[in-house]
A = this chain, B = another copy of it.
Amino acid sequence: MVAGPTSTGPGKDRLRLWIRLLRASRTIEAELRERLKKEFDTTLPRFDVMAALYRSPEGMLMSDLSRFLLVSNGNVTGIVDRLVSEGLVTRARRNGDRRTSMVRLTEEGSKTFAAIAAAHESWVGELLGTVSEDEARRLTGMLKSFRSNWEGRE
């Protein structure tokens, strides 16, 4: 996946783009993961869950989190388990539908997240420093629409 095509031909340009995209995101992701561990003793998946919850003060269902973060249900269960045991998140059973539970940041979780998010944003700014703000906007636009072609089928 990270190795590229050596020959030329139809479709090679898209393959090359995919290789670059993957290498770029893996490199940045690895660096962010390392800094999250070193500076805040946390992980990327936990940060992702907290980020989602931070935007929804009213809370989110497990399935909301799963859908929003593009990961499986069982995956979210484990991550939320750990966040609960760290006191950053609560799971509240609901009266209306007792299959579901509402997940929310605790006050401590909210403070903790705000601090991490600030560092995270400046790290991203640093790591993508060679991309101008203008170029960043153009790239974002290009990436915005690529999925419509095939996602959501079945």
Contacts and interface: CB of A to CB of B under 8 A. Distances in A.
Interface string A1-43: 1110110001111111110111111111111100000000000
Interface string A53-69: 01100000000000011
Interface string A119-154: 001101111111101011101101111111111000
A83 interface: no
A128 B143 CA distance: 10
Contact of A70 (B12, B21, B26, B142): B26
B151 A13 contact: no
B140 A16 contact: yes
B131 A20 contact: no
A51 interface: yes
A9 B47 CA distance: 21
A21 B143 CA distance: 7
A14 B133 contact: yes
Contacts of A146: 24, 128, 130-131
Interface of A: 1-3, 5-6, 10-18, 20-32, 44, 47-48, 51-52, 54-55, 68-70, 121-122, 124-131, 133, 135-137, 139-140, 142-151
